[in-house]
């Protein structure tokens, strides 16, 4: 197999710009930490189902039950012939985990309000200044900010995309038992409203400030600032309308279902040029924030929450209209969606939203200079005397990598007036070149159109397999008279079959030939970026700025093309391009951008790829699949989580049947089912210095069918969400699934493993009451935010 050298690993993680490599050390002004004495690994890696090199070097912890396990000695044979999956958050034996807050908890001044569903991003805003005035140091009392991304079964039987073999079969659902009252038995305005209420954000004060042991557990504190900002916040402003939605100001009779005046506002060109002509007639007033995935925390104490999958359809109905006309407004409401139920115009969703957790009087705002697309997160550079920089990703197949540069400069990074800097600047999209260079293309009204041809995007797959998925699809704005189209608005599909006749109509023009103004461009940023020549990428799930080198680490989660587009196959692995069992797999990868300008305002950069996702026995395989959120600890080490699709976990499809997915290592093309070898989603640690630098080390494994998201370090505690345990499967009733899975050993040869896994989840109901559970092995699975801490941490996490 092709393996990176020690030198390559150190350069990638410790910083390539201006660094000198001497033996195993990186030596320069910012990374001399590598010269320091490095302690050996202070935890026992969790044993996962698949082989990893670390298991040959270090002992590992194999879970055998809830809070039970055994230490396995390191061995040259890293494979396991059988593996039983445990429905718990499994952490090393040196650590413990507990629930801080969960879906349905009533922790707000209004007793009817409750914490939303699928928790995702977390942020912590410290207010504990009694010991030290620096809020970055005091981590014992503050506001926990939580995103809620979407709703899914078992919240209700008619949640979006509930499997057909569950609907109408009498399987239990969680809403009534957790919330305390029942939803109507079918979709109506109340169910649509309650689903929108369950997305958005929760702001909750947590503390351990008055405890003598600062390593004790965080607990929720009553606070007047505890509040929900959800998908229908501000619904009361519908009363100001003159259309049929004038009387749609509530979704039920309960107090929390009454529309209020807590609307949001927009900033930038979309607010002044598009929202003023929106069909709702509400101008720059916006009802709610929803579909909230990841985000970022500013140095001045606000949170930017990302609106991601806002696109509505008949099946995925908790959404709005995504497509827009040349003026930036939606063509119409999309039938059968919550957008049509409540009159939510599509152009007002899909933004980056700023909220101040500590100030309930701060009206949340959607910053249109940050673009409208399927936002995953934002990573910032806020340095005194320099422009404010924001890096972002568009999490869709063929989505882009973005940079925002403010017009004005930062004076004091902790000054809350910095929020104004998001309101004026330039949004850029990345253009990757195969030679490792790149440039930032501004998304401005006078930018030239120069889309990458589908035959170029797909050339590597086409050369290897004689065909390309989706024929190298790239989506471009549909315009009357362009490429034979007769209507305006939405997307035109350009691919290898029609590019010869269609693409010339899109070349050699300006964005002003397709959009009426700057606001309209920002409302249609995904298509406008394709038009301008931005590189379609492999679903950028997370971007983080390294605290020392300022290089931008990017988690691209999956290179497979889809209905939104085709990632550039010259840059990303879009398929398994050979029938060799150990050929490179497509499961995303870890990349980084190195800006050519020291302040990140320049238009050119270099890019590097660390490792491709896939089994460790595959060519260039990192030993993980579908890497998602990243975070750096105080030493600059990398932590990451995986986001493998629920319908591939442990090699079984979703639903009641639990049908085994085909896993055949001699297959080529789209091999997404390969992620079944990895088991549940998990949390990994990559040291950036020391003897294990660059090694993927498993730290925790999540419950059945869950996703671990939003890791945030709060002093000696890692706060992390456990999203959708038991998603789209019946609640755990003791049914066990068994199968044989074909896997790769570290030598690239296949072997078979017997895998045993519960069909569904009961986490955290199945854990102890001391840790936030109910000791109920068949209780309901509940999305939650947890804390993980070292038992003898003495103030440090690791």
* CB proximity list for 250: less than 8 A, separation 6 or greater: 193, 235, 257, 258, 259
* Percentage of the chain modeled with pLDDT above 90: 88
Q: Would you say residue 9 has pLDDT above 80?
A: no
Q: State residue 735's pLDDT score.
A: 98
* Sign of the alpha-carbon dihedral angle for 622, 624, 625, 630: negative
Predicted pLDDT at 611: 85
Write down the pLDDT at residue 17. Answer: 40
The Cα 301–Cα 221 span in angstroms is 19
Residue 558 neighbours by CB under 8 Å, 6+ apart = 397, 538, 539, 586, 587, 588, 613, 626, 672
Asked if pLDDT for residue 176 goes beyond 80, the answer is: yes
Closest Cα partner for 309 from 394, 243, 423, 432? 394
pLDDT at residue 688, as a whole number? 82
Residue 205 pLDDT > 90? yes
Q: What is the mean pLDDT of residues 600-604?
A: 98
Q: What's the confidence (pLDDT) of residue 3?
A: 54
**pTM exceeding 0.75:** yes
pLDDT at residue 14 greater than cutoff 80: no
Beta-strand relationship, 365-367 and 375-381: unpaired
Residue 23: which pLDDT band, with cuts at 50, 70 and 90? very low
Nearest residue to 375 via CA among 533, 551, 543: 543
Structure tokens at 651: 């090699």
Residue 64 main-chain phi, psi, to 5 deg: -125, -5
Q: How confident is the model at residue 6 (pLDDT cuts 50, 70, 90)?
A: low
Give start and end residues of each alpha helix (H) in 175-314.
175-179, 189-197, 269-273
* Sheet with 784-790: strands ordered across: 95-102, 784-790, 717-723, 707-714
Per-residue model confidence (pLDDT) at position 739: 98
Using 50, 70 and 90 to split pLDDT, how confident is the model at 15?
A: low
- Rounded CA-CA distance 193/338 in Å is 8
Query: What's the CA gap between 299 and 417, in Å, rounded?
Result: 11
- Residue 665: Cβ within 10 Å count: 23
pLDDT in tens, 566-580: 999 999 999 999 999
Of 475, 463, 524, 545, the closest CA to residue 503 belongs to 475
How is 393-452 classified by DSSP, letter by letter?
EE-SBT--EEEEEEEEE-S-TT-GGGGGGGGSEEEEEEEE-TTSEEEEEE--TTPBP-PP
Cβ atoms of 284 and 140 closer than 8 Å: no
- 138 pLDDT band, cuts 50/70/90, is low
User: Which pLDDT value is given to residue 694?
Assistant: 87
* pLDDT (0 to 100) of residue 221: 94
| Average pLDDT, rounded, for the chain | 93
- Dihedral angle of Cα 271, 226, 119, 730, to the nearest 10 degrees: -130
Q: How far apart are CA 728 and CA 653, in angstroms?
A: 10
> Residue 197 — φ and ψ, nearest 5°?
-65, -30
What are the tens digits of pLDDT across the range 150-163?
Answer: 999 999 999 999 99
> Is 311 or 637 the better-scoring residue by pLDDT?
311
Beta strand 552-556 with 540-545: parallel, antiparallel or unpaired?
Answer: antiparallel
pLDDT tens-digit map of 333-387 = 999 999 999 999 999 999 999 999 999 999 999 999 999 999 999 999 999 999 9
Give Cα separations from 470 to 51, 189, 394, 467, 611 (angstroms).
33, 37, 19, 9, 26
| Angle at alpha carbon of residue 698, lines to 749 and 709, rounded to 5° | 120
Given this model, what pLDDT does residue 5 score?
65
Q: Which of 98-112, 491-505, 516-530, 621-635 has the lowest mean pLDDT?
A: 621-635
Q: Is the pLDDT of residue 590 over 90?
A: yes
Which one, of 77, 97, 94, 76, lies nearest residue 86 by Cα? 97
Residue 34 DSSP code? G
Q: Which pLDDT does position 152 carry in this prediction?
A: 98
Which tokens in the block code for residue 337?
A: 């969606």
Average pLDDT over residues 700-726: 97
Residue 294 to residue 276: CA distance in whole angstroms: 28
Whether residue 2 has pLDDT greater than 50: no
CA separation for the pair 576, 588 (Å, rounded): 12
pLDDT confidence bin for 137, thresholds 50/70/90: low
Residue 452 has pLDDT above 90, yes or no: yes
Cβ 540 vs Cβ 509: under 8 Å: no
20-29, 51-60, 447-456, 491-500: lowest mean pLDDT where? 20-29
Q: Helix, strand, coil shares of the chain as percentages rounded to 5? A: 15, 30, 55
């Amino acid at each position: 197999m092709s393996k990176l050298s020690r030198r390559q690993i150190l350069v990638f993680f410790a910083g390539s710009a201006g660094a000198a490599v001497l033996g195993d050390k990186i030596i320069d002004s910012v990374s001399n930490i590598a010269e320091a004495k490095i302690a050996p690994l202070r935890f026992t890696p969790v044993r996962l189902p698949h082989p990893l090199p670390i298991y040959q070097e270090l002992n590992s912890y194999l879970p055998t039950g809830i809070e039970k396990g055994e230490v396995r000695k390191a061995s040259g044979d890293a494979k396991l012939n059988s593996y039983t999956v445990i429905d718990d958050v499994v952490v090393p034996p040196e650590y413990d985990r507990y629930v801080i807050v969960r879906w349905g908890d009533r922790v707000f001044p209004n007793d009817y309000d409750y914490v939303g569903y699928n928790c995702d991003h977390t942020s912590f805003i410290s207010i504990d200044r009694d010991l030290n005035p620096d809020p970055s140091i005091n981590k014992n009392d503050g506001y926990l900010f939580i995103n809620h991304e979407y709703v899914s079964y078992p919240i209700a039987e008619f949640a979006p995309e509930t499997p057909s073999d569950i609907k109408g079969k009498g399987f239990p659902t969680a809403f009534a038992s957790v919330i305390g009252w029942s939803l109507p038995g079918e979709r109506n305005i109340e169910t649509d409203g309650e689903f929108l209420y369950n997305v958005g954000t929760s702001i909750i004060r947590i503390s351990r400030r008055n405890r003598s042991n600062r390593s004790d557990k965080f607990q929720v504190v009553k606070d007047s600032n505890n509040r929900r900002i959800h998908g229908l916040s501000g619904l009361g402003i519908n009363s100001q309308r003159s259309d049929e939605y004038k009387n749609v100001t509530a979704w039920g009779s309960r107090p929390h279902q009454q529309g209020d005046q807590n609307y949001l506002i927009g900033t930038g060109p979309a607010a002044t040029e598009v929202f003023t002509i929106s069909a709702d007639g509400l101008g720059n007033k916006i009802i709610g924030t929803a579909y909230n995935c990841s985000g970022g925390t500013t140095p001045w104490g606000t949170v930017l929450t990302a609106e991601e999958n806002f696109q509505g359809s008949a099946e995925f109905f908790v959404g709005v209209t995504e497509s827009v006309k040349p003026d930036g407004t939606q063509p119409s409401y999309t039938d059968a969606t919550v957008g049509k139920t409540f009159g939510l115009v599509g152009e007002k969703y899909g933004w980056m939203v700023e909220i101040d957790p500590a100030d309930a009087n701060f009206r949340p705002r959607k910053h249109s200079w940050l673009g409208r697309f399927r936002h995953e997160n934002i990573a910032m550079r806020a340095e005194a005397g320099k422009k404010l920089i924001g890096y972002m990703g568009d999490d869709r197949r063929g989505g882009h990598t973005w940079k925002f540069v403010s017009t004005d400069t930062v004076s004091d990074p902790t000054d809350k007036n910095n929020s104004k800097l998001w309101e004026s600047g330039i949004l850029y999209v990345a253009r990757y070149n195969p030679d490792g260079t790149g440039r930032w293309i501004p998304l401005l009204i006078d930018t030239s159109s120069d889309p990458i041809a589908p035959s170029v995007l797909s050339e590597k797959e086409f050369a290897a397999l004689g065909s390309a998925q989706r024929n190298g699809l790239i989506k471009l704005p549909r315009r009357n008279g362009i490429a034979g189209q007769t209507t305006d608005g939405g997307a035109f599909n350009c691919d290898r079959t029609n590019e010869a006749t269609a693409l010339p109509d899109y070349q050699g023009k300006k964005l002003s030939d397709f959009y009426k103004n700057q606001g309209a461009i920002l409302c249609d940023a995904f298509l406008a970026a394709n038009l301008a020549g931005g590189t379609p990428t492999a679903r950028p799930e997370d971007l983080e700025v390294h605290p020392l080198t300022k290089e931008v680490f990017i988690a691209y989660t999956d290179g497979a093309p889809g209905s939104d587009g085709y990632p550039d196959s010259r840059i990303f692995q879009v398929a398994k391009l050979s029938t060799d069992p150990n050929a490179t797999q497509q499961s995303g990868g870890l990349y980084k951008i190195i800006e050519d300008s020291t302040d990140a305002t320049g238009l050119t950069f270099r890019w590097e790829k660390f490792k491709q996702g896939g089994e460790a026995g595959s060519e260039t395989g990192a030993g993980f699949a579908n890497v998602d959120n990243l975070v750096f600890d105080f030493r600059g080490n990398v932590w990451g989580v995986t986001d493998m699709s629920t319908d591939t976990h442990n090699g079984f499809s979703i639903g009641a049947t639990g049908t085994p997915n085909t896993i055949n290592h001699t297959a080529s093309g789209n091999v997404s089912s390969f992620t079944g070898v990895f088991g549940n989603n998990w949390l990994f640690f990559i040291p950036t210095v020391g003897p294990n630098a660059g090694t993927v080390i498993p730290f925790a494994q999540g419950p059945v069918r869950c996703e671990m998201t939003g890791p945030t370090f709060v002093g000696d505690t890692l706060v992390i969400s456990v999203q959708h345990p038991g998603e789209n499967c019946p609640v755990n009733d003791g049914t066990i699934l068994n199968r044989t899975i074909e896997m790769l050993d570290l030598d690239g040869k296949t072997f078979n493993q017997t895998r045993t896994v519960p069909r569904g989840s009961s986490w955290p109901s199945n854990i102890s009451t001391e840790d936030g559970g109910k000791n109920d092995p068949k209780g309901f699975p509940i999305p939650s935010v947890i804390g993980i801490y070292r038992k003898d941490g003495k103030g440090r996490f690791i």
